[in-house]
């Protein structure tokens, strides 16, 4: 095996042929969440990029654009098109946001001002 580093989850590798067929397993930190009550007009979907809405890390809202840094994605393996609003679901955290993945871990997500629901813009307001 070469001494070159193997890309981590969330990274790509330009040397395509070097790792073709390589198998590995990943630990992915995840948090059980619900959809933010303040964002009920939107429907949560598997694979949707989301951000936490508070320091409790229990509710999420969609990212406002692809450029907005996501905290995680809604479980992409759910076999539903839309998730019912009262359903709890797993959010898989983006690499680097949690300490060493284990069954109980600390979150290292800076509490940004936009995690305060009162500062959200009024998307699709009447």
Tell me: the pLDDT tens digits for 46-96? 999 999 998 889 999 999 888 999 999 999 999 988 888 788 999 999 988
Handedness of CA 26, 88, 43, 81 (dihedral sign): positive
Would you give the distance in Å from CA 77 to the centre of its chain?
Answer: 13
Residue 5 located in a structural domain: no
Residue 38 located in a structural domain: yes
* Containing structural domain, residue 81: 26-95
Residue 1 located in a structural domain: no
Query: Tokens 């930190």 correspond to what residue?
Result: 29
When mean pLDDT is compared across 36-40, 52-56, 85-89, 110-114, the lowest value belongs to 36-40
DSSP state of 21: T
So what's the pLDDT on residue 5?
73
Question: 43 near 83, Cβ under 8 Å?
Answer: yes
Residue 85 located in a structural domain: yes
Q: Is the pLDDT of residue 119 over 70?
A: no
Q: What's the pLDDT tens digit per position in 2-13? A: 456 777 777 777
- Confidence (pTM): 0.72
Residue 120 located in a structural domain: no
Domain count within the chain: 1
């Amino acid at each position: 095996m070469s001494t070159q580093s193997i890309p981590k989850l969330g990274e790509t590798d330009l040397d395509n042929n070097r790792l073709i067929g390589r198998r590995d397993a990943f630990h992915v930190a995840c948090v059980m969440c619900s959809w933010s009550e303040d964002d009920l007009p939107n429907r949560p979907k598997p694979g949707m990029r989301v951000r936490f809405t508070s320091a409790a890390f229990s509710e999420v809202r969609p990212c406002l654009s692809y450029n907005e840094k996501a905290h995680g994605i809604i479980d992409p393996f759910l076999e539903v098109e839309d998730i019912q609003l009262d359903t709890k679901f797993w959010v898989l955290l983006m690499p680097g946001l949690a300490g060493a993945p284990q069954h109980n871990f600390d979150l290292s997500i800076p509490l940004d001002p936009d995690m305060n629901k009162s500062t959200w813009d009024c998307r699709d307001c009447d």
